[in-house]
Amino acid sequence: MAAELDQSKKVADRYLKKEVLGEGTYGVVYRAIDTKTGQVVAIKKIRIGKQKEGVNFTALREIKLLKELKDPNIIELIDAFPHKGNLHLVFEFMETDLEAVIRDRNIFLSPADIKSYLQMTLKGLAVCHKKWVLHRDMKPNNLLIGSNGQLKLADFGLARIFGSPDRRFTHQVFARWYRSPELLFGTKQYGPSVDVWAAGCIFAELLLRRPFLQGQSDIDQLGKIFTAFGTPTTAQWQDMLFLPDYVEYQYAPAPPLRSLFPMASDDALDLLAKMFIYDPKNRITVQQALDHRYFTSAPFPTVPEKLPRPAPKQESKASGLEGPTVLSPPRKSRRVMPEPEGFEGNVHHSNQANEVKPGDTSRSGPMSLDFSVFAARPPNRPTIKSADRSHLKRKLDLEFQHPE
């Protein structure tokens, strides 16, 4: 125990801090032991010193609300306390996350496995939306997976409490890929439908085994969206014209969705299309998505315990006995871009074609290169029509000043 105290730091008397698990949007995450219960936990240390307004009472009240959000598909917030100018949020410890599953070339995801992961994602979302809590930062590495295969949503409500994640941070580059068009057009009023769009992107990523729409800037992100689903018309989405950052894009028709996901079932495609409806008012709700026939038709979702998960690769450095090993590698090497050709690369590949079966080493390409960020050849997609709008220029200047 004395040796343990040497290499660990006690936090607020109760938690024994172990190694750093990673750095996230709001701060560093540590593995720790709850000395009261012996439970392994993950502590998220949020820098409040640097926050413009600090953590006010509203934030603390909202955190209390999050503590009350208990569901098998939502990560449990066990404790929250301020310590040395930081706010510490204590969560149950999770073995891996959906990004690691999607990325692992040794994992074959069957249609039933995909259905199960999506269903758990939507179930967690549904509970939160019922309580009027939005996520706003849905992405595969925020979907944590426990040792029993249960998927749980993490970071719920943090965007609302601590402000929108600062997209200038390098690691936030991936979050853009899950942003809905209304957020990209700068809407100030948004609802649960932003999480549905992101869940649609995650569904697409499960099918394709790589991020679906990999924009390099907000403007590029919208271009990628419009290439996939066609430039929205005012008939489809009237309110779009009044959004603060609206810019007109050249009209491009939508290719058949089937051409983007050739091997997806009809039910999967139907649900996917409804999650990607442009007008947030018409987009399917999480509950409607859960009631969609995709979930009641065969194949039925795989039971969580039987879902494929990454094989443990390394022992925890701190101790081999104290809990599961964290499987996620450092953030910078966490993305796999198997095909560097850009957007068009999605078009010709089915989910089946992109899925790698165990033992298949023929497709083992670079594992850590993010071609979407460094792509040399921009894909062919709708361009902005009126480039002289001052707010657009401001946006471009900002993006130029803060290349991600």
The residue number with the shortest CB distance to ligand ADP is 24
Nearer to ligand ADP, 25 or 221 (CB): 25
Distance of closest approach, residue 347 Cβ to ligand ADP, in angstroms:
29
From the candidates 97, 113, 137, 218, give the one annotated as an active-site residue. 137
Active site residue 137: yes
Distance of closest approach, residue 151 Cβ to ligand ADP, in angstroms:
12
Distance of closest approach, residue 356 Cβ to ligand ADP, in angstroms:
22
Nearer to ligand ADP, 91 or 212 (CB): 91
Nearer to ligand ADP, 149 or 223 (CB): 149
Contact between 334 and 370 (Cβ < 8 Å): no
Distance of closest approach, residue 207 Cβ to ligand ADP, in angstroms:
22
Nearer to ligand ADP, 79 or 270 (CB): 79
Q: Which of 112, 142, 74, 94 is nearest to 308 (CA)?
A: 112
Nearer to ligand ADP, 40 or 257 (CB): 40
- Binding residues for ligand ADP, rule: CB under 6 A, are 21-22, 24-25, 29, 42, 44, 75, 91, 93-94, 97, 141-142, 144, 154-155, 171, 326, 328
Catalytic residues: 137
